[in-house]
Amino acid sequence: MSNYPSRAEMLEKTRQQAAKTNLNRKDPDEFRPEKVKGDVKKSYYFYVLPDIQKGEKCKSSGTKDGNASEGSLNYYYQNGYHWIDNTKLECPRCHDNEECALCSLDFELMKGSDDKVYKSSVRSKYLASAHYAVNIYFLNFKDNPEELRGKVMWFNAPKTVFDKWDACITNDDPGSEETELKAFGIFYHPYEGSYPFKLHVANKGDFNSYEESKFLAGNFAPLSVKIENGKPVLDNEGNKVPDLDRIQEILDQRHYLPSKFQTRDQARIQKVVDKYTAKESGNDDAEVIEEEVVEEPKKPAMKRVVKEELLEETPPFVPTKTAEKVVEKTVEKVAEKKAPVVKKEETLDDEDDEELRALLDNVKKKSK
């Protein structure tokens, strides 16, 4: 009996396993834009939230008091994974800027060829593409889907979207009221001011394209503002006064982003590379190694999650029939509900800044 694990040990192990399994399920706190088809376009309006600092209250921190055990250096958490033999392998290069044997193999293979088709097949097979996870707060705005309004979720943004955020950080030019206002500098300060971001989703080559997404530069304001008699309260300088309590409430709902990803497994990655190298050189041991790698249990839940991502971003994977059906269904729904709204949105944020401003004020009032 002395070797038998204690209840406490069992509990620890069981909880650890459960946490691992949960990582492979679809996370209800993660925002994934629906896949659009044909001419359907969809927009979401949100604020990117600032990064969590050590000791701040947040969700999924994994600590007893629910506060973050570590702060982060940036407003985003960079990540990326390899999809090998139906298994998701988090990439040390994308996550931690560390050497990744699989990425290195890919670079090596691409370097040795001028063949574009071959290069792109290698790229899609082995290379992990970087994503940027952030916490976002959906405006309580009528053009946002109802179930998202006023909610804090996390979003693993692709590079196209991240580049727009990064362009704002590097831009010092505020533009002008007469020509065009430009978002510049920090866009996620909860008190001094944030720019709402319009995530614009269109179809391009059967994948979601976010190219037309942008900040609404004319609507710089605190995350939530004080409202009196239906109007935002202004300070002596005419700036909107932040609603401190509501802002704190929003910030407390941020998710601890590192906990949303599995730890990196350099040994497994090396095994995949060894298997590839062995195959190339005709090594007899290849079979043995292959068995080891494939033996890893294939989890259907995980497969599903990753496929959804692949539907959005990564060209080479052909979705299964079931997956396609689900997507078609959602898109139909979106098409009949959303199609007529599109034009209105464009007028709102391109031509009639005043109106949008009023709407956003309204939004803040409601979200109070």
| CB of residue 105 to Zn ion, shortest distance in Å | 9
| CB of residue 80 to Zn ion, shortest distance in Å | 7
**Which residues fall within 8 angstroms of residue 199, CB to CB, at 6 or more apart?**
33, 43, 44, 45, 46, 161, 210, 213
Query: Closer CB to Zn ion, residue 94 or residue 139?
Result: 94
Q: Single out the residue of 94, 96, 120, 99 nearest to residue 109, CA to CA.
A: 120
**Which residues fall within 8 angstroms of residue 47, CB to CB, at 6 or more apart?**
136, 137, 139, 188, 194, 195, 196, 197, 223
Tokens coding 225: 């503002």
Query: Closer CB to Zn ion, residue 88 or residue 198?
Result: 88
Tokens coding 73: 């250096």
138 within 8 A of 45, measured Cβ to Cβ: yes
Partners of 202 in beta bridges: 209
The Cα–Cα gap between 219 and 182 comes to: 11
Per CB under 5 A, which region of 96-104, 228-236, 257-265, 335-343 contacts Zn ion? 96-104
Name which of residues 122 to 141 contact Zn ion (CB under 5 A): 128
Name which of residues 254 to 283 contact Zn ion (CB under 5 A): none
Tokens coding 316: 């080479």
| CB of residue 94 to Zn ion, shortest distance in Å | 6
Residue of the chain from 58, 91, 225, 272 that contacts Zn ion (CB under 5 A): 91
Query: Closer CB to Zn ion, residue 266 or residue 320?
Result: 266
Query: Closer CB to Zn ion, residue 103 or residue 157?
Result: 103
Taking CB under 5 A as the rule, does residue 93 contact Zn ion?
yes
Sketch the per residue contact string, 160 through 179, with Zn ion: x for CB under 5 A, - otherwise: --------------------
Query: Closer CB to Zn ion, residue 63 or residue 78?
Result: 78
Residue of the chain from 48, 102, 109, 157 that contacts Zn ion (CB under 5 A): 102
Burial class (CB in 10 A: 0-12, 13-18, 19+), 229: exposed
| CB of residue 91 to Zn ion, shortest distance in Å | 3
Query: Sign (positive/negative) of CA torsion 80, 86, 87, 92?
Result: negative
Residue of the chain from 40, 84, 100, 356 that contacts Zn ion (CB under 5 A): 100
Interface ranges with Zn ion (CB under 5 A) = 91, 93, 100, 102-103, 128
